[in-house]
Structure 1
Amino acid sequence: MVGVEVVNVNDRLNVKDGLNETYDVVVAGGGAAGLNAALMLARARRSVVVIDAGAPRNAPASGVHGLLARDGMPPGELLERGRSEVRHYGGHLISAEIGQVGRDDGGFTVTLGDGRSTRGRRLLVATGLVDELPDVAGVRERWGRDVLHCPYCHGWEVRDQAIGVLAGGPMSVHQALLFRQLSDDVTFFTHTTMLTAEDAEKLAARDIAVVTEEVASLEIADDQLAGVQLVDGTVVKRTAVVVAPRMVVRADFLAPLGLRPVEHPSGAGTHIPAEAAGRTDVPGVWVAGNVTDPVAQVGSAAAAGAAAAAQINADLVTEETRQAVDARRAQPSN
C-alpha cells in the first residue's frame, strides 16, 4: 500500500498515557460521548487521545439511570470502566484543560492549560456543558440528590413523593407535566415568573397545585430536603424539587476556529450546531454529546460519540485513499 502507514494496535497496548506529538484524532472531553468515540476510533486502529478536565456534569448523582445493563451504576465507576477500555485498545488519556485550539497544515494544534501541546488530524469536541442553577439558597447544595431536573434520570427514585417544581425557564411547565406521571402530589412554584392562561389550564387539568408566592430558599432538615420556604415564611413540605437549569456549553476554546455557541432552539441554553452525525461547519471538527445536544442522556451521548467516531474514521480513510491514489499515479511507469 502506497502512502498509508499501517500500525499494529498491539504495539501500543502498553504505552503509558503520555502525550504524543500527533494523533489521528484529538478528543476534547472524557465523558460518555468522548470515551465512546475514543473507544470506537482505537478499535479502528486510529491513534487517539482524550483530553479531559475531570469535571463531569453528573458527578453529584448517585447513579446513572436509564442505561441498559448499567442502570444505577455510579457515574465515576462508569467513566473509569470506559477509560480502562480505551486504554486497552491503545488510546491515550490526558488529565488537563484545553487552553486553546488552532488550525495548522492538515489538522489542529491543541494547547493544554499546562503549556503542553499536541496536534490531531481531526478534532472531536465532547466537553459537555455546565448547569447554571437558580439563585435560591439550598438548590446548589442539594443538586443531584433531591434537587433534580430530569424525570428519566432520577424520576423513579422520587416516585409517589411530594414533588415541587421551581419555575425558571421555558421547560418548567413541561417538567411539571412529566413529573406528574410519577406522583399525584406535584406543586408548581411560579417563583418570579408568570403563568400563561394556557399553561395554568394545563396544570389545573392535571391537578398540579400552583403557588404564586416567591420562593426564598429550600428547607433542609437532617441532611434531607424538607420543604420550600416562601418569602412570607410559609414552608410548603416537599421531599424533592425539580429545577430547569440553563445549560451552557464548555466550548469557548473553539472561538479561534470560528465555532461559537448559539442558543438552542428549545431555549434551554446554548449549543454548538452540527449535522446529525456531529460534523460542524468547520472542516475537520466534529461535536458529540451535550455540547451539541443539551438534553442528551448518558446513553444517547455515548451513541452520538460512536456515530461521530465512525464518520471521522471514514473521513480519514477517504483522505488516505486519495493520497494513496495520488502517490500511485506519481510513480514512474515501467
Structure 2
Amino acid sequence: MATGLRDVLPEVPGLAEHWGRGVVHCPYCHGWEVRDEPIGVLAVGPASVHHALLFRQLTDDLVYFTRGTELDEDTRTRLGARDIRVVDTPVDEVVKADDGGVAGVRLADGRLVSRRVLAVATTMRARTEGLDGLGLAMEDLPHGMGRRFVSGMAGATDVPGVWVAGNATDLTAQVGASAAAGALAGSHINALLAAADTEAALAAAENRDSRV
C-alpha cells in the first residue's frame, strides 16, 4: 500500500491558492526554482526557525513572519546574524500579484510586505481514504509534524498481508526513497510467497504419499 500523504497548510487566506508554485515547503524539493527570490517564511512553530535557516542559503532577502509563535532572544539573535528580518505583526492574508503569482502578505496593520515566494512547513498526513476497515495502526509524530501508518521492517504492518511504503509511513521520503521502499517491500512479499508456495507443494506431496 503506497497511498502517499496530504500536506495540510495553515489557515491563511490566499495561501492554498498558490500551493506548489509561489508557496513551497521544502528547500530540497523547490530550492533551485526559488533561489534569489524575496522569500517569506510563515512560522507554524519552533521547527520553522530551522526552515528559515535552510531557505536563507537560497536568498539574501528573507523575512520571518512569527504568526504568534514564540521566539526567544537567542533565536532572534541567530536570525539577525543571518540578516533575516523578523516580523511579529500578524499576517492577515496572502496577496496575489497581477501575473497570478504571490505579491506578498498583508499584515494586520494594513502593511503589504512584498514577497515572491512563501515557505511554510505543512502538517503531513498519510492518506487513509478507503482504508479504515483494515485496522492499520497510526501514530502522530512530535511537534505537529504529521500522522503516519506504523510499519516495521520492509514496511510490514500488524495486519497480515498488508505492507506500506513511501510517504504513507515515511513522511519525509522523497521520490527515490519511496520507490526504494516499495521495491524492498515487494521483495519481502515475494520471498514470503515463494516460501508459501514451497509449503503448499510439500503439503501436496505428503498428501500424495499418504495415499500410495
Equivalent positions of 1:131-142 (< 5 A) are 131-142=7-18
1:256-303 residue CA offsets vs partner (Å, 9 max, x unmatched): 333132102463110011124111122211001111011112222112
**2:65 aligned partner:** 189
Partner of 1:322: 199
Q: Which has the higher helix share?
A: 2
For the residue of structure 1 that corresponds to 2:54, the secondary structure is helix
Q: Which residue of 2 aligns with 1:243?
A: 120
| Residue from 95, 106, 109 that aligns with 1:232 | 109
Alignment pair present for 1:294 and 2:164 = no
d(CA) in 2 for partners of 1:238, 1:307: 42
What do residues 74-109 of structure 1 show as CA deviations (whole Å, max 9, x unaligned)? xxxxxxxxxxxxxxxxxxxxxxxxxxxxxxxxxxxx
Identity %: 53
Q: Does the C-alpha gap of structure 1 residues 276 and 171 become closer, same or farther in structure 2, counting only changes over 3 Å? A: farther
Deviation of residue 249 (structure 1)? Answer: 1.4
Kindly provide the CA deviation profile for residues 190-232 of structure 1, in whole angstroms up to 9, marking residues without a partner as x: 0121124453343233222111111011111111211111110
4+ residue segments displaced more than 6 Å: none
Q: How many residues align?
A: 210
SS in 1 for 2:209: coil
The TM-score, its normalising length taken from structure 2, stands at: 0.91
Q: Are the aligned partners of 1:169 and 1:268 in contact in 2 as well (CA < 8 Å)?
A: no
**Structure-1 residue corresponding to 2:56:** 180
- Unaligned stretches of 5+ residues in structure 1: 1-124
| 1:141-180 Cα distance to aligned partner (Å, 9 max, x none) | 1000110001111111111111100011443122111111
Q: Residue type of the partner of 1:268? A: M
SS for the counterpart of 2:171 is: coil
1:258 aligned to 112, 135, 151, which one?
135
Change (3 A) 1:212 1:314: same
CA contact (8 A) 2:137 2:150 kept: no
- Give me the TM-score of the superposition, normalised by structure 1: 0.59
SS at match of 1:193: coil
Which aligned pairs between 1:1-334 and structure 2 lie closer than 5 A? 125-222=1-98, 223-251=100-128, 253-265=130-142, 267-332=144-209
Instruction: Go from structure 1 to structure 2 and tell me whether the alpha carbon gap of 1:162 and 1:297 turns closer, same or farther (over 3 Å shift).
Output: same
Q: Which residue is equivalent to 1:5?
A: none
CA RMSD of superposed structures (Å):
1.8
Q: Deviations over 1:4-62 (max 9, x none)?
A: xxxxxxxxxxxxxxxxxxxxxxxxxxxxxxxxxxxxxxxxxxxxxxxxxxxxxxxxxxx
- What amino acid is the match of 1:226? A
Q: Distance in 1 between matches of 2:129 and 2:102?
A: 35
Q: Which amino acid aligns with 2:115?
A: R
Aligned partners of 2:39 and 2:59 also within 8 Å: yes
